[in-house]
A = this chain, B = another copy of it.
Amino acid sequence: MKRQDRSDVTWHYHRIERSDRERMLGHKGATVWLTGLSGSGKSTIADTASCMLHDSGVLTAVLDGDNIRHGLNRDLGFSPEDRQENIRRIGEVARLLTGIGIVNFVAFISPYRKDRDLARSIQEQDDFIEVYVDAPLEVAEQRDPKGLYAKARAGEIPSFTGISAPYEEPLAPEIHLHTEKQDPEECARQIIEALRERGIVR
């Protein structure tokens, strides 16, 4: 017990808080939640904005299928329950990253309002920026960067958003992008401007 007493006396370390980290980084944490059809441009816009911010000294992260579906959520399939759990966990990781002071981009179709609203509800109001990456289905399908629409049309992918499963548009997103008219750089600038207006980055 002597040691314990001694360590109680000499103890002067506190738990590092979010504000401590944000002070060190020189910016605040926030989640930029991009939602939209496959092929709408979510990942490209997330990477572009992340890159621009990084170049101005902001610590960023991008959560997308590449690093989540093959890692944290490798146990999940595509049933309705699994899709919901997929988005729930992503929302929790986004919250963790925000708490570390990171500007984190989430780039998943996330087609259901209630799932996006859950992800929003676990963060502070100012920390969550929903971005509707809007492209007409025809445009997204024509781009079809991964050949998924072709497979979905051929019936090889069941419940494909926009073809055989619904996409619920955000009712009041903080940002509404139109990627059939705006290029990725313009979209990224609009997001960064919104982060500046909110005092998240300089």
Does chain B have a CB within 8 A of A48? yes
Q: Give Cα A48 to B102, complex, Å.
A: 22
Nearest CB of B to A77, in Å: 15
Name A185's closest neighbour in chain B (CB-CB): B10
Interfacial chain B residues near A100, Cβ < 8 Å: 59, 61, 97, 102
Q: A15-B47, A15-B51, A96-B71 are in contact. Are A183 and B57 (CB under 8 A)?
A: no
Query: In chain B, what residue has the closest Cβ to A7?
Result: B183
Nearest-CB residue, chain B, relative to A70: B92
Asked whether any CB of chain B lies closer than 8 Å to the CB of A133, the reply is: no
A3 touches B183 (CB 8 A): yes
Q: Which label, helix, strand, loop or mixed, suits the secondary structure of the A interface? A: helix
Q: How many residues in A have their beta carbons less than 8 Å from beta carbons of B?
A: 50
Q: Does A60 contact B (CB under 8 A)?
A: yes
Which chain B residues lie closer than 8 Å to A50 at the CB level? 15-16
Least Cβ–Cβ distance between A83 and chain B, in angstroms: 15
Interface residue ranges, A against B (CB under 8 Å): 1, 3-4, 6-7, 10-11, 13-16, 20-21, 24-25, 47-48, 50-52, 54, 57, 59-62, 67, 71-72, 75, 85, 89, 92-93, 95-97, 99-102, 122, 142-143, 180-181, 183-185, 188
